[in-house]
């Protein structure tokens, strides 16, 4: 669902979502359709949900700039729960990440906002990968 006209400041609600009933700790990596050595785009993500197994609210905001001249994601700021991070993966793709010490009945949704020279990520653009590794 797009709130706005698709221009700057528009938001996609539930661009991606995740649910599991598994036990144990995990990282959730959100693979963005941005490649560090090819793209110039600003990023704004909001991750919300409920980590039932740890009785915690999931609430994180992540912003940054995939910047080809630096071959990296720069001007990063993250706030919120579950140790949010933005990073460049070994495949040159840009990832957002959260850590969950207990992912039993974990539910998350990702909203995206078009900022600066970035695009509006839509449903299907973001791949969610559950892993025991802190980076991919």
pLDDT digits (tens, 9 = 90+) for 39-89: 999 999 999 999 999 999 999 999 999 999 999 999 999 999 999 999 999
Are residues 1 and 12 in contact, defined by beta-carbon separation less than 8 angstroms?
yes
How many Cβ atoms sit within 10 Å of the Cβ of residue 109? Answer: 16
1-34, pLDDT tens digit by residue? 899 999 999 999 999 999 999 999 999 999 999 9
Q: Two tokens at 60?
A: 């994180």
Max CA distance (Å), the chain: 42
Give the pLDDT of residue 62: 98
Q: Could you tell me the pTM of the whole model?
A: 0.95
Give the pLDDT of residue 75: 98
Q: Two tokens at 23?
A: 């036990």
> What is the rounded CA–CA span in Å between residue 127 and residue 91?
14
Domain boundary assignment for the chain = 2-131
Instruction: Please tell us whether the domain made up of 2-131 is placed in CATH 2.60.40.
Output: yes
What pairing do the DSSP bridges indicate for beta strands 93-100 and 26-35? Answer: antiparallel
Give the pLDDT of residue 4: 92
């Amino acid at each position: 669902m797009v709130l706005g006209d698709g221009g700057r400041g528009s938001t996609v609600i539930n661009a991606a979502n995740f649910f599991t009933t598994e036990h144990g700790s995990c990282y959730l990596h959100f693979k963005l359709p941005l490649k560090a050595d090819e793209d110039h785009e600003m990023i704004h993500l909001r991750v919300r949900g409920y980590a039932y197994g740890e009785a915690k609210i999931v609430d994180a905001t992540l912003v940054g700039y995939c910047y080809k001249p630096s071959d990296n994601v720069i001007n990063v700021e993250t706030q919120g729960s579950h140790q949010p991070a933005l990073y460049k993966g070994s495949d040159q793709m840009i990832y957002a990440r959260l850590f969950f010490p207990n992912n039993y009945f974990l539910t998350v949704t990702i909203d995206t906002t078009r900022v600066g020279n970035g695009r509006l990520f839509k449903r299907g653009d973001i791949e969610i990968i559950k892993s025991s590794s802190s980076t991919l």
